[in-house]
């Protein structure tokens, strides 16, 4: 297990007693990050300084904002959804609202990939839609039943989707499609992951290219672990290569994770250990303390320290022997 240390922290000029729901990379040319918070604002900030960009505060984006997503248009457009049943689009360059859509307030859009929209709801269902089809009934590509209220869902690979519930149960489902006549592949059901990972809550899973990192937090020990979830014949946690963020956000829950330059968990871990850049491959966390923190993994000096300790011990023993042995 590797350790990470805090580089910086900031409140994003939030009102007192506010907390942050989610942070993400804006996925545009500016490389800024965005956050939504309990004051129903959308805030865009510089990841190097953790300071708000000019015009970066969008007030009252919803009556109960719940999520924010990029539209992957390289144009700086962010989509937000809320308990008011609306989805709004915001141009981060101009500060203007660019569209509004009415939606089911129980559902959250979790991922938009290659024309496929993934959403989950409190009914435990994860729905995959083909957005290239205009008819709503025909657009439904696949329905996956996780069995409990969905907190997060996303793609682990081109053919597999994860579902994470509010009671910290995890399952992985394979895409089949409405016209697939092949036998259905059984889902991988982890159940409640808290006992295995020795945590109290799960933040989310960051995934791409068939690899992933799961954020597992513990309030009693004030820590957050980033645990690789890899596929080698089957999906399994690689707890030995986890990254520990000691201290995390103190006695407050970590709500969201973001890693700049994410390229799959194994590549992320390697780059986090090797990168000297301030911005690239930095871990960002946001919590109910109203803070955003930037982290980087510390050098693994365990072997080096042990070696130095052994050298000092041997040197001390040698000096002692030389002091006693005087033949002349």
Residue pLDDT, tens place only, 290-327: 999 999 986 533 433 433 443 344 445 434 444 443 43
Please determine, for residue 274, whether its predicted confidence score (pLDDT) is greater than 70. no
Which pLDDT score, from 0 to 100, does residue 224 have? 97
Please determine, for residue 276, whether its predicted confidence score (pLDDT) is greater than 80. no
**Average model confidence (pLDDT) across the chain:** 79
Sheet order of strands, 65-70 included:
65-70, 77-82, 86-91, 96-102
Average pLDDT of the segment spanning 195-204? 95
d(CA 287, CA 245): 13
Distance between first and last Cα of the chain: 53
Supply φ then ψ for residue 197, to 5 degrees: -90, 0
Pure H helices in the chain? 136-139, 194-197, 265-274, 302-324
What tokens were used for 229? Answer: 């979830």
Average pLDDT of the segment spanning 84-111? 74
Which pLDDT score, from 0 to 100, does residue 228 have? 93
Name beta bridge partners: 3: 244
Average pLDDT of the segment spanning 166-184? 79
Q: 261 falls in which pLDDT band (50, 70, 90)?
A: low
Q: Which of 260, 264, 270, 262 is nearest to 292 (CA)?
A: 260
Q: What angle do CA 67, 73, 265 make, to 5 degrees?
A: 65
d(CA 204, CA 165): 10
Please determine, for residue 219, whether its predicted confidence score (pLDDT) is greater than 90. yes
Please determine, for residue 74, whether its predicted confidence score (pLDDT) is greater than 80. no
Q: Cβ contacts of residue 199 below 8 Å, gap of 6+?
A: 193, 216, 217, 218, 225
Q: Which of 196, 230, 201, 233 is nearest to 215 (CA)?
A: 201
Say if strands 254-259 and 140-145 run parallel, antiparallel, or are unpaired: unpaired
Q: 205 falls in which pLDDT band (50, 70, 90)?
A: very high
Which pLDDT score, from 0 to 100, does residue 280 have? 46
d(CA 175, CA 129): 12
What tokens were used for 151? Answer: 């907190």
Which pLDDT score, from 0 to 100, does residue 248 have? 96
With pLDDT > 70 as the criterion, what percentage of the chain qualifies?
A: 73
pTM of the model: 0.77
The neighbour count for residue 108, using CB atoms within 10 Å, is 20
Supply φ then ψ for residue 229, to 5 degrees: -120, 105
Average pLDDT of the segment spanning 59-82? 81
Could you please report the per-residue DSSP string of 274-324?
H---SSTT-EEEEETTS-EEEEEEPP--HHHHHHHHHHHHHHHHHHHHHHH
Q: 114 falls in which pLDDT band (50, 70, 90)?
A: low
Supply φ then ψ for residue 42, to 5 degrees: -115, 125
215 touches 243 (CB < 8 A): no
pLDDT greater at residue 30 or residue 296: 296
What tokens were used for 309? Answer: 């300790």
Say if strands 77-82 and 140-145 run parallel, antiparallel, or are unpaired: unpaired
């Amino acid at each position: 297990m590797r350790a990470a240390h805090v580089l910086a922290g900031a409140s994003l000029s939030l009102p007192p007693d506010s907390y942050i729901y989610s942070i993400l990379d804006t996925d545009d040319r500016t490389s800024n990050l965005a956050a939504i918070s309990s004051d129903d604002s959308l805030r865009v900030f510089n990841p190097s300084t953790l300071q708000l960009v000019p015009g970066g505060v969008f007030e009252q984006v919803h009556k109960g904002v719940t999520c924010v997503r990029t539209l992957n248009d390289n144009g700086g457009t962010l989509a937000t959804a809320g308990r008011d049943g609306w989805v709004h689009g915001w141009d981060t360059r101009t500060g203007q609202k660019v569209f509004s859509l009415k939606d089911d307030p129980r559902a959250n859009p979790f991922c938009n990939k290659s024309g496929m929209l993934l959403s989950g709801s409190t009914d435990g269902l994860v729905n995959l839609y083909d957005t290239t089809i205009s008819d709503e009934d025909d657009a439904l590509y696949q329905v996956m039943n996780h069995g409990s209220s969905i907190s997060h869902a996303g793609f682990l690979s081109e053919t597999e989707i994860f579902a994470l519930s509010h009671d910290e149960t995890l399952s992985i489902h394979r895409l089949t499609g409405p016209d697939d006549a092949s036998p259905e592949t059984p889902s991988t059901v982890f159940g409640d992951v808290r006992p295995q990972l020795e945590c109290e809550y799960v933040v989310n899973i960051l995934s791409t290219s068939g690899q992933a990192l799961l954020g597992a937090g513990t309030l009693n020990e004030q820590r957050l672990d980033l645990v690789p979830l890899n596929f080698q014949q089957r999906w399994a946690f690689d707890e030995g290569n986890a990254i520990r963020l000691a201290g995390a956000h103190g006695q407050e829950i970590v709500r969201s994770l973001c890693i700049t330059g994410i390229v799959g968990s194994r590549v992320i871990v390697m780059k986090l250990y090797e990168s000297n850049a301030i911005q690239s491959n930095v871990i960002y966390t946001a919590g109910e303390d109203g803070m955003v923190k930037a982290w980087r993994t510390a050098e693994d000096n365990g072997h080096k320290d042990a070696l130095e300790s052994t050298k000092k011990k041997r040197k001390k023993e040698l000096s002692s022997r030389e002091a006693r042995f005087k033949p002349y």
